[in-house]
């Protein structure tokens, strides 16, 4: 299986401070890969670099065989890289429907079918479609953010902390929908602090600590790793 | 003793006073050029003040002319209508400018207004000022303006004496600037200009220092404004307008170098020369200043002093 | 009394036309355009020159508005680029200073070259009667133009894709980029649109009384106040603030006199800015 996305020894920082150092990872087609690690490990910075919101200081990022580091995010959307940040970044005074439709900006004319698909995946959004996005609950906003991202026909979906601030019920529902999307061929890279869901969902995971990859491998292996168990799963 | 540490500053101040003191000798006795040189000194004071307010604490006061005019009109009207001696009314004018500047600063900092809002509020103030002068015409003669020739003290009558008096005031303001910058306030200013949020976190009372800078700067502007009112012999709202004062001060400070001691001095000298060169163009001089301002802001933001520092590798203050 | 209300509303609409451009450029480009009034002057003077050269007034006005737009395009693609390279407050300050310099450049040039030219559009019938109240035809024309312009603007923003894209960038530039939108390209559209709105405002000024080359800074100042009071990111707010300030201005002028009115108006504006810096009608987001 070829890697759809690969980061090679990338270093990302703000000003003088490197936040992510020498990180290499890859995501193969159709896989779900998780990046786990504590707060401040650099997960968001890493994702921003991969998504083109930040330029890496060194190293390269490859997508579908081509170098994408240095390109801005809006150029990557057309290529199939869709990023859903932890802050969601919705349009608060626009309706749910308008938010979703704008997600299809890169293929706007043919958005109708995609819209039907997304509204099937997230029926709650269909119910609320005329509501202002700013008035939705946290869970609904997360669904909207993912739904908007899906409208761009992504080849890979980058999800940063999709379960933050969501009730357990919403988290389960969201991962259920993600599993469904994965089954239909979507490649997913997600960053999570909530380990159990992430490792249950993703086949492989990378552990990011202090800006560096500490550990990586199949999720089942990591779950059985005593260090991981102690640090992240609260088991003695 | 801090002599060694501030040697550069002392030498600079000395050089400035010597060079400027010698200027009248090189003017060949021309009253016209002496007047130009004296005006240059007055604008230098404006620029030193604006340097403190904007150059050091990033408060975009787009009302330098209005503050100067406020002080000038207060002083002149008191002298004219209430027969107060100029020596008494000038301080009143200065205080009024200082209070206004301090209030704008205080309210802006308190309300957390960003740099553009301060700019807008001060811009609006300069509009209010112009209209107040026009509207209160029983006091201010409105557009016609006021002749101050009869009111002025001899020390400010055009001539060699007034040049040196005003030079004295300028040197006082430069020395004051130096002392201010080497005090705790100066360190606070540098921290605030660098990163206001971090300065606040480091325990610096940002409000107090910004208001201090604004008040002190506005007082200086008031002093220069009042002096100008008597020296020039005539005031009306236009001479304190944005085209006469604010753009000159902005260009001068950008040209010379914000946040430096020598910047306002060099900038003013150059601007005075430029002003003369551009004079035959009449109304087009405003265009030249606009173009210059755009070029400076885009390509030469740090001013001449910074460039000289780089070229000569000397720490010019 | 009604006459004053009408007068005030019309003036307010014209102010709003000038101000909406500032709101758009600030909301989208993050730049406070202190040369907005100069766009109006450019449009107005071009129109006046064309009329003097014998062109039909309507054609001249259209040409004026278009030239304002072209001027805006040139400014955006040249002078503002250094500002766009920065972000946040740096961009704000740099943009402000650049446009301030530009306002002096245009002011100086216009005042020098065309100081004796002004745009003064006179209509065939100076006034007409409605229900016993005499209304200046010019006022009606200005009101009609402004209302039409705003209606078109709202329709454009609400219904077209480009309009939605513009709204999305104003509300969340990052979010827009996530959808694959290139903010820089849209910014240019906005600057051109704003310049043309200003040009229209200049034409309206020419209808209402007259537009001279020295009026640029004054127009900018008033537009600024309206934009800030209404909320620099809210177009509805700008329209409402414009009309409100126009009405207040009309009534205050009638009862209190011109200068005091201005001071009251300006004082109210300062007061509003200090009380609610985000503007009277800013959305709580």
The listed CATH number (2.30.29, 2.70.70, 1.10.3470, 1.10.3210) that belongs to domain C2-275: 1.10.3470
DSSP string, B216-280: HHHHHHHHHHHHHHHHHSEE-GGGGSIIIIIHHHHHHHHHH-TT-SSHHHHHHHHHHHHHHHHGG
Residue B214 covered by a domain: yes
* Dihedral angle computed from the Cα positions of residues B3, B6, B8 and B12, in that order, rounded to the nearest 10 degrees: -90
Could you read off the pLDDT of A68-84 as tens digits, one per residue?
Answer: 988 999 999 999 999 99
| Window 192-231 of C, Cβ < 8 Å to B | 217, 221, 224-225, 228
Residue B95 lies in a domain: yes
Q: Which one of A15, A53, A74 makes the best mutation probe of the C interface by having the most chain C beta carbons within 10 Å? A: A74
Residues B134-158 have a mean pLDDT of 84
pTM: 0.84
CA-angle at B315, arms to B178 and B206, nearest 5°: 45
Nearest to A74 among C172, C180, C283 (CB): C180
Residue C283 has pLDDT above 60, yes or no: no
Residue C278's pLDDT band, with cuts at 50, 70 and 90, is low
Average pLDDT over residues B286-307: 90
What residue in B sits closest to C279 (Cα-Cα)? B117
Predicted confidence at residue A50, as pLDDT, reads: 92
Is the pLDDT at B156 greater than 50? The verdict is yes
pLDDT score recorded for residue B217: 96
**For chain B, how long is the longest CA-to-CA vector?**
58
Helix (H, G, I), strand (E, B) or coil at B72: helix
Chains in touch with B (3+ beta-carbon pairs under 8 Å) read C
List CB contacts of A114: < 8 A, sequence separation 6 or more.
Answer: A104, A107, A150, A151, A153
Least reliable range by pLDDT among B92-106, B155-169, B283-297, C206-220: C206-220
C111 to chain B, any CB pair closer than 8 A? The answer is: yes
* Residues of chain C neighbouring B292 (CB-CB closer than 8 A): 101
Chain A residue numbers touching C172 (CB-CB < 8 A)? 89-92
Q: In this complex, do C263 and B131 lie within 8 Å of one another by their Cβ atoms?
A: yes
For chain B, how many structural domains are there in total? 1
Domain that holds residue B71: 7-239
Domain contains B30: yes
Range with the poorest average pLDDT among B53-62, C77-86, C129-138: C129-138
Residue C265 has pLDDT above 90, yes or no: no
B140 lies in some domain: yes
Non-local CB neighbours of C171 within 8 Å, separated by 6+ positions:
A91, A92, A93, A94, C285
Do C and B have ≥3 inter-chain CB pairs under 8 A?
Answer: yes
Answer whether residue B65 is part of any domain: yes
Residue B290 within a domain? no
A89 contacts in chain C (CB < 8 Å): 172, 174-175, 178
The 10s digit of each residue's pLDDT in B186-196 is: 989 988 888 88
Side-chain half-sphere CA neighbours of A67 within 13 A:
9
Shortest CA distance from B128: residue in chain C: C263
ipTM of the complex: 0.89
The DSSP-derived string for B38-71 is HHHHHHHHHHHHHIIIIIIT----TTHHHHHHHH
A102·C171 Cβ contact <8 A: no
Phi/psi of residue C231, nearest 5 degrees: 105, 110
For chain C, what percent of residues have pLDDT higher than 90? 33
Q: Is residue B235 part of a domain?
A: yes
> Given pLDDT bands bounded at 50, 70 and 90, which one contains residue C101?
very high
Buried-state track C19-41, b at ≥16 Cβ within 10 A, e below 16:
bbbbbbbbbbbbbbbbbbbbbbb
**Gap between the Cα atoms of C209 and C273, Å rounded:** 29
- pLDDT, residue C257, reads 73
Whether C88 shows a pLDDT value over 60: the answer reads yes
C100 touches chain B (CB under 8 A): yes
* pLDDT beneath 50: ranges in chain A: 236
At B172-219, the pLDDT tens digits run: 999 999 999 989 999 899 888 888 888 888 888 888 999 999 999 999
**How many residue pairs from chains A and C have C-beta atoms closer than 8 A?**
71
Structure-token pair, residue C80: 């503002």
Question: Does B300 map to a domain?
Answer: no
A110 inside 8 A of chain C by CB: no
- For chain A, give every domain's residue range: 1-80+156-163+187-236, 81-153
Interchain contact A71–C (C-beta under 8 A): no
Q: Of the spans A17-21, B106-110, B173-177, B278-282, which averages the highest pLDDT?
A: B173-177
- To the question of domain A1-80+156-163+187-236 being in CATH 1.10.274.10, the answer is no
Q: CA-nearest residue of chain C to A93? A: C171
Distance from CA of B265 to the nearest CA of C (A): 22
Q: State how far the Cα of C83 lies from the Cα of C87, in Å rounded to an integer.
A: 8
Handedness of CA B289, B294, B299, B300 (dihedral sign): positive
The per-residue pLDDT for range C11-28, each reduced to its tens digit, is: 899 999 999 999 999 888
Touching subunits of A (3+ CB pairs, under 8 Å) are C
Which helix (H) or strand (E) segment is A159 a member of?
strand A156-160
Contact A175, A146 (CB under 8 A): no
Cα(A169)–Cα(A188) distance, integer angstroms: 21
């Amino acid at each position: 299986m070829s890697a759809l996305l690969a980061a090679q020894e990338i270093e990302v920082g703000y000003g003088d401070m490197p936040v992510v150092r020498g990180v290499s990872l890859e995501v193969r087609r159709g896989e779900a890969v998780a990046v786990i690690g504590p707060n401040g490990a650099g997960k968001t910075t890493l994702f921003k670099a991969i998504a083109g919101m930040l330029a890496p200081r060194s190293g390269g990022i490859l997508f579908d065989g081509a170098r994408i580091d240095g390109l801005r995010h809006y150029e990557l959307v057309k290529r199939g890289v869709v990023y859903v940040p932890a802050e969601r970044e919705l349009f608060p005074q626009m309706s749910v429907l308008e938010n979703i439709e704008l997600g299809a900006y890169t293929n706007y004319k043919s958005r109708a079918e995609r819209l039907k698909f997304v509204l099937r995946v997230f029926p709650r959004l269909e119910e609320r479609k005329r509501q202002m996005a700013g008035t939705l609950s946290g869970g609904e906003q997360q669904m909207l953010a993912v739904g908007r991202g899906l409208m761009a026909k992504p080849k890979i979906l980058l999800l940063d902390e999709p379960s933050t601030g969501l009730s357990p019920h919403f988290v389960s529902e969201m991962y259920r929908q993600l599993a469904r999307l994965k089954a239909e061929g979507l490649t997913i890279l997600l960053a999570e602090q909530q380990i159990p869901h992430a490792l249950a969902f993703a086949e492989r995971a990378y552990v990011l600590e202090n800006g560096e990859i500490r550990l990586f491998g199949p999720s089942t292996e990591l779950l059985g790793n005593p260090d991981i168990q102690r640090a992240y799963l609260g088991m003695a | 003793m801090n002599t060694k540490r501030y040697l550069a500053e002392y030498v600079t101040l000395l050089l400035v006073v010597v060079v400027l003191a010698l200027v009248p000798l090189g003017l060949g006795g021309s009253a016209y050029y002496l007047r130009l040189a004296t005006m240059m000194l007055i604008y230098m004071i404006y620029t030193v003040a604006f340097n403190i307010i904007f150059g050091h604490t990033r408060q975009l006061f787009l009302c330098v002319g209005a503050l100067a005019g406020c002080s000038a009109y207060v002083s002149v009207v008191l002298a004219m209508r209430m027969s107060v001696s100029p020596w008494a009314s000038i301080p009143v004018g200065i205080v009024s400018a200082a209070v206004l500047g301090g209030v704008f600063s205080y309210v802006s900092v308190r309300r957390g207004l960003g740099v553009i809002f301060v700019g807008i509020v001060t811009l609006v103030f300069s509009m209010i000022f112009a209209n107040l002068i026009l509207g209160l015409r029983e006091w201010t003669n409105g557009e016609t303006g006021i002749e101050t020739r009869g009111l002025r003290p001899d020390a400010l009558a055009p001539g060699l004496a007034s040049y040196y008096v005003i030079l004295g005031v300028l040197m006082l303001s430069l020395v004051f600037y130096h002392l201010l910058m080497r005090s705790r306030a100066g360190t606070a200013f540098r921290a605030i200009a660098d990163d206001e949020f971090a300065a606040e976190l480091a325990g610096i009372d940002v409000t107090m220092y910004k208001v201090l800078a604004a008040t002190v700067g506005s007082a200086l502007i008031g002093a220069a404004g009042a002096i100008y009112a008597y020296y020039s012999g005539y005031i009306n709202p236009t001479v304190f307008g944005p085209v006469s004062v604010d753009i000159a001060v902005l260009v001068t400070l950008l040209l010379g170098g914000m946040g430096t001691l020598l910047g306002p001095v060099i900038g003013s000298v150059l601007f005075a020369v430029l002003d003369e060169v551009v004079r035959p163009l009449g109304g087009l001089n405003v265009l030249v200043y606009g173009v210059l301002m755009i070029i400076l802001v885009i390509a030469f933001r740090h001013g001449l002093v910074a460039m000289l520092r780089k070229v000569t590798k000397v720490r010019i203050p | 009394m009604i006459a004053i209300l009408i007068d005030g509303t019309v003036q307010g609409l014209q102010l709003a036309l000038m101000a909406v451009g500032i709101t758009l450029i600030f909301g989208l480009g993050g730049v406070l355009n202190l040369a907005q009034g100069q766009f109006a002057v450019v449009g107005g003077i071009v129109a006046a020159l064309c009329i003097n050269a014998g062109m039909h007034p309507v054609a001249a006005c259209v040409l004026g508005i278009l030239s304002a737009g072209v001027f805006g395009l040139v400014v955006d693609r040249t002078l503002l680029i250094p500002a766009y390279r920065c972000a946040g407050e740096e961009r704000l300050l740099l943009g402000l200073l650049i446009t301030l310099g530009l306002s002096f450049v245009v002011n100086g040039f216009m005042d020098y070259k065309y100081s004796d030219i002004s745009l003064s559009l006179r209509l065939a019938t100076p006034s007409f009667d409605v229900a016993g109240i005499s209304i200046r035809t010019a006022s009606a024309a200005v009101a009609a133009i402004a209302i039409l312009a705003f209606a078109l603007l709202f329709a454009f923003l609400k219904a077209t894709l480009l309009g939605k894209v513009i709204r999305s960038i104003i509300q969340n530039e990052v979010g827009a980029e996530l959808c694959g939108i290139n903010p820089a390209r849209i910014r240019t559209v906005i600057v051109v649109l704003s310049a043309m709105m200003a040009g229209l405002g200049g034409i309206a000024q020419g209808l209402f009384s007259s537009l001279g080359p020295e009026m640029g800074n004054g127009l900018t100042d008033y537009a600024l106040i309206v934009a800030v009071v209404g909320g620099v990111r809210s177009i509805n707010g700008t329209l409402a603030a414009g009309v409100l300030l126009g009405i207040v201005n009309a009534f205050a002028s009638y009862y209190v006199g011109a200068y005091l009115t201005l001071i009251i108006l300006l004082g109210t504006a300062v007061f509003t800015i200090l009380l609610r810096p985000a503007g009277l009608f800013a959305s709580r987001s």
